[in-house]
A and B are shown apart, each in its own frame.
Chain A
Amino acid sequence: MSTLREDAAPVEVIKPPGVWTRTRRGRTAILYLLPSIILFGVFVFYPMFRTIYLSFFLTDQRGEAAVFVGLDNYRYLLESAAFLNSAKATILFVLYTVPAGVILALFLALIANEKLKGIGFFRTIYSSTMGVSVAAASVVWLFMFHPSIGMFNRFLALFDIGQIQWLLDPDWALFSVAISTIWMNTGFSFLILLGGLQNINEHLYESAKIDGAGYFYQLRRITLPMLSPTLFFIITISLINAFQSFGQIDILTKGGPAQSTNLIVYSIYREAFVNYQFGTASAQAVFLFLCILVVTILQFRFGERKVHYQ
């Protein structure tokens, strides 16, 4: 048998690999990750820490920390009516846009998921708002909200209902901005939800049909549970998007009237780049960061457990 070595020549001893050899893969990996790590470091992590740092200072015009004030910026914000108003507006804005936006997108995705002739055309139409920038959309809506020649008031005039000052009335402005925002976000949410629907296994519906289940029974017992991860993802994204809204405010209302649409990002922008109060602006940014953090943590915590993953 050749398993036995006839001439048992001394076998050379093979040394265990050294540190240099053992870390070779790690060094290669770093090379590939370096661009990302540097960019994240410079444009994400450093600015984040710098923001937190600045929030404890009064700053000069060039954004340099001047006087350490501890938590004074935060105290000032929590006592400032303007900030509290901005926080309230932001929360209201989130409540207006997120549920309605997700339900609208879900409705569109459901009707566009049927296998009908020409469905591709409808899908394209529904996703089209994703191709319209915030600035362009805001300009269009600005015109539609125009008090005298805008589409909405003309429509109301047809029924002899009095005009509404959509963007100029403090009671209506936030609502109007919310409607235009829902429209802007529909395309993206629709696209993602449609993708989620199409990932659901066809056999589930076939077997439900054999059992004689109707459309709404299937919707409740198959579609929604199976779609829950996508739905949850899109809710999170919509929440984060709502917190970050800026362009529509800048073009439609500039935060007014009477500060009623002064959402947090717009408030940060004004505080920093109009009033040059970088310290308090940073403190507001930290609040924004905390809000987003809570939403993301909720997504990980709550999402992993409650949501049905395939």
Chain B
Amino acid sequence: MTMSLPKKMIFYTLLTISAVVLFFPIAYAFLISFMTGPELMQGRFLPESFHLDNYIKVFDRLPLLNYLLNSFIVSAGVMLGQLAVCSLAAYAFVFIPFKGRDFVFFLFISTMMIPWEATMIPNFFIIQNLNWLNTYQGLTLPFFALAFGTFLLRQHFKTIPKELHEAAQVAGLGPFAFFRRVVLPVSKTSLVTLGAYGFLTTWNMYLWPLLVTTNDSVRTVQIGLKQLQSQEVATDWGVVMAGVIVVIIPTLLLLFLGQKQLQKGLTQGALK
């Protein structure tokens, strides 16, 4: 399809303005992360020089490296857990016709209507009673089962021709071997989508880590940011912004790399 030149100009103008407005906060934070206190007070927009002082300071004042590692472990843990638990459930829904499937399916759907925040009080006590405060399992395990992830994978599994299943049966493949050797490799794309989604949402999680971490041992970067902000707020915004940039770089990278994939996968899972 070709577009007339004036029309093209209109679209490019709209696209550019929107991009500037939308990306402004991130760019702004990036620029400020190189500014000193006095520079900020002057109200400059561009820093005098791109020096890394603020970044060095932020790693000094907080065990940020530790937090990053924690965030990474927790996010990767939830990601792997979700992939395992959701793909198993989705496999049962698609490839094993059993009595009561509709009922179990309804149970899964109903979990989507229960907001996590409405159940956080008992969940907190469960974790506390298990002595799991300040542990990785306390941060990750509650998020392994995910109805949305199950539906997303189910949607993809359904596109696998049933003849493939039958051919595997004739070849003598058991259900688990079929799952592992055919279904999973064939569904690589949606597994990657769900994995990226799980990693991203866990990395960005705020309320739950706030509740179940009471010391620095397994604390994640998001809580680190809160600490940083409440310590530094009056004095050194440059350091705070350096912290922000460090925290968002992994997820932004993940998003830039997987934007197309994520968009396709999420749309598929969202709409039956």
The reply, when asked whether chain A contacts chain B directly with Cβ atoms under 8 A, is yes
Residue of A nearest to B229 (CB): A139
Task: Please indicate the chain A residues that have their CB under 8 angstroms from the CB of B117 in the complex.
Answer: 244, 246, 265, 268, 285, 288
Q: In the bound complex, what is the Cα–Cα distance between A289 and B119 (angstroms)? A: 9
Nearest Cβ distance between residue A151 and chain B, in whole angstroms? 6
Contact B207 A247 (CB under 8 A): yes
Contact A26 B99 (CB under 8 A): yes
A116-B11, A251-B229, A285-B121 are known contacts. Are A195 and B115 too (CB-CB below 8 A)?
Answer: no
| B167 lies within 8 A of chain A by Cβ | no
Which of A26, A116, A285 touches B8 (beta carbons < 8 Å)?
Answer: A116
Contact B206 A192 (CB under 8 A): no
Q: Flag B104-118 by CB within 8 Å of A: 1 or 0 each.
A: 100110011111111
| B152 lies within 8 A of chain A by Cβ | no
Contact A191 B271 (CB under 8 A): no
| A275 lies within 8 A of chain B by Cβ | no
Interface residues on A, range: 35 or more
Contact B92 A33 (CB under 8 A): yes
Contact A296 B225 (CB under 8 A): no
Nearest Cβ distance between residue B75 and chain A, in whole angstroms? 11
Task: Please indicate the chain B residues that have their CB under 8 angstroms from the CB of A126 in the complex.
Answer: 18-19, 22
A36-B85, A115-B1, A142-B229 are known contacts. Are A278 and B121 too (CB-CB below 8 A)?
Answer: yes
| B182 lies within 8 A of chain A by Cβ | no
Residue of A nearest to B223 (CB): A135
Task: Please indicate the chain A residues that have their CB under 8 angstroms from the CB of B32 in the complex.
Answer: 143
Task: Please indicate the chain B residues that have their CB under 8 angstroms from the CB of A36 in the complex.
Answer: 85-86, 88-89, 108, 145, 150
A134-B204, A285-B119 are known contacts. Are A293 and B113 too (CB-CB below 8 A)?
Answer: yes
Task: Please indicate the chain B residues that have their CB under 8 angstroms from the CB of A233 in the complex.
Answer: 270-271
Residue of A nearest to B18 (CB): A108
A137-B25, A140-B25 are known contacts. Are A33 and B14 too (CB-CB below 8 A)?
Answer: no
Q: Scan residues 247-301 of chain A and give those whose CB is less than 8 A from a CB of chain B.
A: 247, 250-251, 265, 268-269, 272-273, 278, 281-282, 285-286, 288-289, 292-293, 296
Q: Name the residue among B3, B86, B98, B122 with the largest chain A CB count within 10 angstroms.
A: B122
Contact B222 A133 (CB under 8 A): yes
Which of A116, A140, A198 touches B29 (beta carbons < 8 Å)?
Answer: A140
Q: Which of A4-12, A46-54, A79-87, A160-168 binds B?
A: A46-54
Which of A39, A112, A140, A251 touches B141 (beta carbons < 8 Å)?
Answer: A39
Task: Please indicate the chain B residues that have their CB under 8 angstroms from the CB of A140 in the complex.
Answer: 25-26, 28-29, 241, 244
Task: Please indicate the chain A residues that have their CB under 8 angstroms from the CB of B99 in the complex.
Answer: 23, 26
| A240 lies within 8 A of chain B by Cβ | yes
Nearest Cβ distance between residue B114 and chain A, in whole angstroms? 5
Q: In the bound complex, what is the Cα–Cα distance between A35 and B100 (angstroms)? A: 17
Q: In the bound complex, what is the Cα–Cα distance between A281 and B226 (angstroms)? A: 24
Task: Please indicate the chain A residues that have their CB under 8 angstroms from the CB of B263 in the complex.
Answer: 127, 191-192, 194-195
Interface residues on B, range: 35 or more
Contact B262 A191 (CB under 8 A): yes
Q: Which of A13-21, A70-78, A117-125, A169-177 binds B?
A: A117-125
Q: In the bound complex, what is the Cα–Cα distance between A182 and B176 (angstroms)? A: 44
Q: In the bound complex, what is the Cα–Cα distance between A28 and B175 (angstroms)? A: 9
Q: Flag A122-157 by CB within 8 Å of B: 1 or 0 each.
A: 111111111111111101111110000101001000
A128-B23, A247-B206 are known contacts. Are A135 and B122 too (CB-CB below 8 A)?
Answer: no
| B218 lies within 8 A of chain A by Cβ | no
Which of B40, B150, B244 touches A139 (beta carbons < 8 Å)?
Answer: B244
Nearest Cβ distance between residue B133 and chain A, in whole angstroms? 13
| B248 lies within 8 A of chain A by Cβ | yes
Which of A30, A35, A54, A112 touches B145 (beta carbons < 8 Å)?
Answer: A35
Q: Give me the interface of B with A, judged by CB distance under 8 Å.
A: 1, 3, 8, 11-12, 14-15, 18-19, 22-23, 25-26, 28-29, 32, 40-41, 43, 84-86, 88-89, 91-92, 96-101, 104, 107-108, 111-126, 141-142, 144-145, 150, 175, 200, 203-204, 206-207, 210-211, 222-223, 225-226, 228-229, 233, 237, 240-241, 243-244, 247-248, 251-256, 259, 262-264, 266-268, 270-271
Which are the 10 A-B pairs with shortest beta-carbon distances? A195-B267, A133-B204, A39-B145, A47-B119, A131-B255, A47-B122, A32-B92, A247-B206, A50-B122, A131-B251
Given contacts A111-B14, A130-B200, 7 further A-B contacts (CB under 8 A): A28-B92, A47-B126, A111-B11, A130-B255, A133-B204, A195-B267, A268-B117
Q: List 28 A-B contacts (CB under 8 A).
A: A25-B98, A28-B96, A28-B98, A36-B145, A39-B144, A43-B141, A43-B145, A47-B121, A50-B119, A51-B122, A108-B18, A124-B259, A132-B251, A133-B225, A134-B204, A134-B222, A139-B225, A139-B241, A140-B29, A149-B43, A187-B255, A192-B270, A272-B120, A273-B124, A281-B121, A285-B118, A289-B118, A292-B114
